[in-house]
A = this chain, B = another copy of it.
Amino acid sequence: MSALMPANPVRIVLVETRHPGNIGSAARAMKTMGFHDLVLVAPRQPDHADAVALAAGAADVLAQARICTTLEEAVADCGFVAGCTARSRHVVLPGLEPRAAASQLLDEAGAAPVALVFGTERTGLTNEDLQRCHAAVHIPANPEYGSLNLAAAVQVLCYELRLAMLARSADGGATPSRGDDPLATQAQMEAFFAHLGRMLDAIEFHKGRSPETIMRRLRGLFLRARLDERELRILHGILSDAQRMAQLAGSRKD
């Protein structure tokens, strides 16, 4: 493993897990593969006895888990976020198989924290959740019965992450980076999307169209591009100038 690889290279985020036992089983699955950084978003009863029982020897992972109220909060400092989803059809994000996802997560982990996100047991990640992700990970399951339980999905992904880490420690790989500018964090991307939304309002773009659909598309596009901080500054500048023009047009209209 590269000297730059942090001790806990990948954060596992479980969103609104319903059954405490599944949190415990997921913690165990993580630890068997050497992962310890667990974040729970709005979990139901994370300290339930079932969670502790099913964590078995991984109670330490459970005890150290951080609890957040939103996914946004859980991944705010992350440079790369992958969301695990059973449905790859309607997702605008680039789709990755577990092996490719593991490789990319480790590539990115040298630069900033990275996260792998799992949704609720029944319905998985919502479209809103997926809009905070740079990529969708899809376990290539049986199309006639693809319902891996939560801990099983965590197990498969953490297994691939472990294999990828072992492969890297074998060849002492370095962390690739695209240029001199650090990649934008998720919080910076959210600020950009908010600015983009205000600019679209200012130029009266949404007339007769669904803002949600358009914004989902635009989010997918810009998250996929993995913007760096300099690119973000350029885009903010463009948005501000377009807003200024719209304001000028509006003030003269009155």
Given contacts A155-B155, A205-B238, A248-B252, 15 further A-B contacts (CB under 8 A): A25-B149, A29-B148, A32-B141, A32-B146, A56-B147, A92-B178, A92-B179, A94-B178, A141-B162, A151-B152, A217-B230, A217-B231, A224-B225, A245-B246, A248-B253
Size of the chain A interface, CB-CB below 8 angstroms:
66
Instruction: Give 11 CB contacts A-B under 8 Å.
Output: A28-B147, A31-B145, A90-B179, A151-B152, A152-B152, A199-B242, A204-B245, A205-B241, A218-B234, A242-B245, A249-B252
The proximity string for A residues 204-244 relative to B, scoring 1 for CB distances below 8 Å and 0 otherwise, is 11000000001001100110111100110010011001101
Q: Are B178 and A95 in contact (CB under 8 A)?
A: yes
Chain A contacts to B: CB under 8 angstroms: 25, 28-29, 31-34, 56-58, 90-92, 94-95, 99, 139-142, 144-149, 151-152, 155-156, 159, 162-163, 166, 176, 178-179, 199-200, 202-205, 214, 217-218, 221-222, 224-227, 230-231, 234, 237-238, 241-242, 244-246, 248-249, 252-253
